[in-house]
Every structure is written in structure tokens, then in C-alpha cells.
Amino acid sequence: MRVDIVSIFPEYLAPLDLSLIGRARASGLLRLAVHDLRSWTHDVHRTVDDTPYGGGPGMVMRPEPWGEALDALAPAEAPQPRLLVPSPAGTPFTQAMAHELAAEERLLFACGRYEGIDQRVLEHAAARMPVTEVSLGDYVLFGGEVAVLVILEAVTRLLPGVLGNAGSLDEESHAHGLLEAPVYTKPPSWRGHDVPEILRSGDHGRIARWRRDEALRRTAARRPDMLAALADDLDKRDVAAL
Ligand code: 6GU
């Protein structure tokens, strides 16, 4: 997968050199480039923002540098990337969207700051590439950079060959619409707290049922919205039985 990121704070993306994302890059599974939006400005102050039409607080990112950046990174005649624009006004980012993005050849992230990017940039780009405004949740960040770190971490770990143990992908929280059961390791007793006996019983059938029940219990307590959305009402009957 190839990923381009445009930002006025390229240093904010430095963590992409680290850990498993860094390793995916080193191995060639992920080709990633970070670009400074200001390299597409032409005035001495390298201006990227201006006051909003219609009034109101804050500043809006001007369309011209963004237009040049997108022309340079996604020339009209070449295969087009999917453009992702982090915004608190976007579609919620989910594990399902992470899977969708992991299947793309190319992603292009446009990191807005201030009150956002002039909407015409997105309208213009949408004529030649798919454009998605995406939100991490119901709160407001300074800009899109941290959202890109989150999204890329969720996407990179789904790329074939990135995770050592692909089995961990389908047992995790959200894989089946439930939160994951709690986990334990050695020692069996620690500061007066014991590992649940069932997990040490060696009875794989009982262990699987216990994990399922704990997952349902947790989901009911913490994410009633997820439980309500479960496709099969079998799970809901299981919760009622807990
Ligand atoms: Cl993706 N961007 C910004 N700026 N704020 C957010 C967000 C994204 N998601 C939640 N808040």
C-alpha cells in the first residue's frame, strides 16, 4: 500500500517511523511519504489560511496550496488514490472502515488545521477520486495529524504480513461486534488477585463459553449501543441469560 500525507506539521507524523508501522515501512509492505503543505505556497509568508466567508471565529485553509498539492500527488491521468480528510464533521471511523481502507492501493490524507479546509478543495477532488471526511469520535482535536496516526495504525495492522499472528485479528474487540473478554498471564496469583480458575482448567469448551459470556457482559455494561446493533438475536438472548 502507498500512503501520502499532507500537513503543515510534518514533524507531528514522526511516530510513523517507530514500532510496527516503522517495520511495515522498512519491509516495503507500506510505502509512506509525508509532505509539507507549505511547499505548495508561493508567497514569502507561505500563507495557508485566511478568514472565513460569512464571518465567525478562526481561520480556514485556503484552496490554492491544497489544489496544487493534490495535483502533484494525484495527477489527473494517473491511477487515483482514495482521499481521506480527518474532520470532527466526518463519517465515524470504525473497524469496518479500517478493513475497507486496508484493501486500497493508495491512500492520500489531507490534514486540516484551524476551522478546516475550504470545501471547494474536496468538491474539486471528488470529480476524480473518492473523498471521505472521517471523524474519530465526538470530540474536537486541533487538527487531523493525530487522527491520521490512529487511522494508519488501525489500517497497517490489517495489511497481510504485518502481524506475526493473524489469528489475533479475529479474536479481538470489534471483530465480532463485541468487546473482548479480559486477559491474564502468569503468575496465577498476584497481590491477592487470582486468575479465573476456568482459564487454568485446560477445558477449551468451557474456556470459550466463559470468554463469550465475559465479552457479552462487558459489552452490555460498556457499549449497550453495540449490543443493540448485533445482527443475530441469539446474542441478545445470551445476554438476557447471564
Ligand atoms: Cl478526524 N479531526 C479533528 N480535527 N478533530 C476530530 C477528529 C478528526 N475526530 C474527532 N475529532
- Reported ipTM: the value is 0.95
**pLDDT tens profile 179-198:** 999 999 999 999 999 999 99
For the CA of 90, the closest atom of ligand 1 is: 1
Rounded average pLDDT over 79-97: 97
Query: What torsion, rounded to 10 degrees, do the Cα atoms 116, 117, 118, 121 define?
Result: -150
Given this model, what pLDDT does residue 233 score? 66
C-alpha atoms less than 13 angstroms from C-alpha of 237 in its C-beta half-sphere: 3
SS3 call for 133: strand
- Asked whether the predicted pLDDT for residue 231 surpasses 80, the reply is no
Q: Is the CB of 138 under 6 A from ligand 1?
A: no
**pLDDT tens profile 33-46:** 999 999 999 999 99
- Name the pLDDT band for 171 (thresholds 50, 70, 90): low
Between the CA of 142 and the centroid of ligand 1 the distance, in Å, is 8
Given this model, what pLDDT does residue 166 score? 66
Given this model, what pLDDT does residue 114 score? 81
Given this model, what pLDDT does residue 4 score? 98
Given this model, what pLDDT does residue 236 score? 72
Given this model, what pLDDT does residue 240 score? 80
Query: 140, 151, 153: which to mutate for ligand 1, most atoms within 8 A of CB?
Result: 140
Query: What torsion, rounded to 10 degrees, do the Cα atoms 137, 141, 145, 150 define?
Result: -30
9 or 18: whose pLDDT is higher?
9
- Asked whether the predicted pLDDT for residue 136 surpasses 80, the reply is yes
- Name the pLDDT band for 16 (thresholds 50, 70, 90): very high
Q: Is the CB of 141 under 6 A from ligand 1?
A: yes
- Asked whether the predicted pLDDT for residue 158 surpasses 80, the reply is yes
Q: Is the CB of 144 under 6 A from ligand 1?
A: yes
Nearest 5°: phi and psi at 107?
-120, 145
The β-bridge partners of 106 are: 2
- Asked whether the predicted pLDDT for residue 17 surpasses 70, the reply is yes
70 or 236: whose pLDDT is higher?
70
